[in-house]
Amino acid sequence: MLKVQEIRELIKLIDESSIDEFEYENDGSKVVLKKNDVQYAAAPQVQQPVVQEAPAQAPQPEAKAPVKEEAKEEAAEQIDDSLHKIESPMVGTFYARPNPDSDAYVNLGEKVSEESIVCIIEAMKLFNEIEAEVKGEIVEVLVEDGQLVEYGQPLFLVKE
């Protein structure tokens, strides 16, 4: 089964290329990436959720509007290059906690390991747990709970 980081890398490579569609199957896992349809899917053949990116829509009332492009670029320029960025692997809604009554997965100053779940990204009613994929300390949370995030948008900064 492909790891989230491998899927991220595939999406990035396809996005930067002139390829419109890419399909990969291995050991019961299947990944289909389509650029022109704005739908990305990554689903093993076993009963696991399919991750798809929906076409841009108006934000729902309870969700906060995404940060404007200029503000995102300025924030990216201000991020210390020595810190590891945990980025969103998809477009969706960022949730810092498993449910409204629970504590956040991680807090500022908290230590994480590679397998630590740091948040959930909800896309098309599917809740995808995002792992830190790096060992270190959370030094900054860059998004708010309930905020819409884009593919590749930094979510956390980690001091390794």
| CATH class of the structural domain 69-159 | mainly beta
- Cβ atoms within 10 Å of 63's Cβ, excluding its own: 15
b vs e for 111-137, b when ≥16 Cβ sit within 10 Å of the residue's Cβ? ebeeebebbbbbbeeeebebbbbbebe
Give every CB contact of residue 115 below 8 A, 6+ residues apart in sequence: 131, 132
- Give me the residue spans of the domains in the chain: 4-44, 69-159
Highest averaged pLDDT of the listed ranges 45-49, 67-71, 104-108: 104-108
Query: Is the pLDDT score of 28 beyond 60?
Result: yes
Give every CB contact of residue 79 below 8 A, 6+ residues apart in sequence: 85, 154, 157
- Burial of 20 per CB tally in 10 Å (0-12, 13-18, 19+): exposed
Q: Report the candidate in 113, 107, 110, 116 with the shortest Cα–Cα distance to residue 145.
A: 107
Q: Mean pLDDT of all residues in the chain? A: 76
Q: pTM score > 0.75 for this model?
A: no
Q: What are the respective helix, strand and coil percentages of the chain, to the nearest 5?
A: 15, 35, 50
Query: Is the pLDDT score of 17 beyond 80?
Result: no
Token look-up 């969706």 returns 92
Contact 146, 133 (CB under 8 A): no
C-alpha to C-alpha distance for 138 and 38, rounded to whole angstroms: 32
* Rounded percentage of the chain residues whose pLDDT exceeds 70: 69
Backbone angles phi, psi at 106, to 5 degrees: -140, 150
Token look-up 């906690």 returns 97
